[in-house]
Amino acid sequence: MIEPGWNMMLDIADTPIFRMLTINGRLTFQNDMDVHLHAKHIFVRAGELIIGSQAAPYEQNAQITLHGAKEAEAIVYDNAIEAGNKLIANVGLVSMYGKPRKQKMTRLLKETRKGDRSIMVEPGLDFVAGDRIALAATSYDALASDQGFVASYDSSSGKLNLKSPLNHYHWGAAESTGPNYNQVDMRGEVMLLSRNIKIVGEDIEAWGGQIVVSSIIEADLTYRHGQLLLDNVEVYNCSQANTAKAAVRFEGVTAKSSSITNSVIHNGLGWGVSITSAANVVMRNNVIFSFKPFGVSMLTVSNITFDDNIVAHVSERDIDKKNKYVEKRAGVAICSQVAGNNCRDTHVTNNIVAGAAYAGYTAMGHDCGDYSGD
C-alpha cells in the first residue's frame, strides 16, 4: 500500500506480482529506466499513479501487466459498481504521458495482395523495427484486416517491410480519392499500434485486463472521483469476453474531466471503450482496433467529445444465437442500446470506422425535422 502523504518512486525494472496494490499517496515511475509493474489489482483510491507528464513525457519503456484468470478474486468498491478482477480501478488520478509518435495512421500508396511482405506508405514517418501495425479491411469483407510487425522502414521512399506475409488484399493508390468521392479517401488505413507505455492483460483463458474509472462515497461520506489522463499509451489484451467490462470504461463518474489522446486500445475479446452514466470525457486522435461486439459504447452521457479517432475490426461475439437472438453491436454505438436513452452535449466528429460486422455507427433516431434534442 502507498500510504497518504507518500511520494514513492518506482525504480524496479521488473516487480513481483502484487495481489493488491492500493495507492493512497503518489506512485511515479522512474523516468530514466525501463519499469515493468505486475499486479492482479491496482486500486488508485486517494492517490495518484503517474508515468511521465505533459511537460516531460516518459522516454523509456513502461509496462503494467494485469494478471489473473477468469475465476480469480474480484473486488467491489461500490454497491452499484462491480469492478471485477484483473484491473486498474481508479477513483483518484491516473496520469500517463508516453513518447509522442508522428502518426496514428497513414494510407496505402499502392495496393497489396495476400502473401506480400512489404507495403508502400508515406515517407518521413517514424515507423521503427518491432512496431506493431494493422491494415484495415478495404474489401466487401469488413473483417479482412491484417496485423503484423515492422521489419524495416525506409523513411525516404516509404517502403515498409513486414516480418510475416499479409493474409488479405488491401487497396491503395498514390493519390487520395477525396476529390472524386465527396472528400472520402478510400485508400486502406495503416494504423500504428505501438507505444512506449503499455497496459497489458496477461494472456490467459482469453480473459483480458480492464481499466475502470468511477466515483465512490466512502463510509465517512468522503466523495472520491476518478480522473484518467492517457496520452500516447497502448492498452493491449484488455476487455473481458461476453461481458460489458470494456478495456477502458468510465462508469458513474461525472465530477472531473478525463481524456484519452494519441493512444491505442487494441486486441481485446470484449468491448473496446464503454462510457456509461458518465460526463466530461474527451477521446481524440486514438486507434481502437479489434474488439467484440462494440468498439465504443456510450450510454446516458453528457459533455463527451469523440473526435478524429479510427475504430476498426469490430466483430460479433462467439455466442450461441438460437431462438433468433439479435446481437447488439456496432463500431461506435451512440446511446443506441437502450430505447429512449438520453445523451446530452455529445460530439462525434471526424472519425473513421473501418470494418464493423453490423454498422459503423448506431444512434437513436428522431422525427424528421426535430432538432430539439442534444
> What span, in angstroms and rounded, lies between the C-alpha atoms of 353 and 111?
20
Q: For position 338, what pLDDT does the model report? A: 82
Burial 102-132 (b: 16+ CB within 10 A, else e): ebbbbbbbbbbeeeeeebbbeeebebeeebb
pLDDT digits (tens, 9 = 90+) for 295-323: 999 999 999 999 999 999 999 877 655 54
> What span, in angstroms and rounded, lies between the C-alpha atoms of 147 and 99?
22
- Would you give the end-to-end CA distance of the chain in angstroms? 44
Contact status, residue 211 vs residue 43, Cβ threshold 8 Å? no
Instruction: Tally Cβ neighbours within 10 Å of residue 160.
Output: 25
102-194 — its CATH code?
Answer: 2.40.30
Going residue by residue through the chain (374 aa), what tens digit of pLDDT does each one get? 899 999 999 999 999 999 999 999 999 999 999 999 999 999 999 999 999 999 999 999 999 999 998 888 777 765 555 678 899 999 999 999 999 999 999 999 999 999 999 999 999 999 999 999 999 999 999 999 999 999 999 999 999 999 999 999 999 999 999 999 898 999 999 999 999 999 999 988 878 999 999 999 888 888 999 999 999 999 999 999 888 899 999 999 999 999 999 999 999 989 999 999 999 999 999 999 999 999 999 999 999 999 999 999 999 877 655 544 445 788 999 988 887 788 889 999 999 999 987 889 988 776 676 655 55
CA-based radius of gyration for the chain: 21
> What span, in angstroms and rounded, lies between the C-alpha atoms of 84 and 78?
11
Instruction: Tally Cβ neighbours within 10 Å of residue 327.
Output: 12
Beta 35-44 vs 62-66: how paired, if at all?
parallel
Give the global pTM. Answer: 0.94
Q: For position 337, what pLDDT does the model report? A: 82
Q: For position 340, what pLDDT does the model report? A: 76
Residues linked to residue 38 through DSSP beta bridges, in sequence order: 17, 65
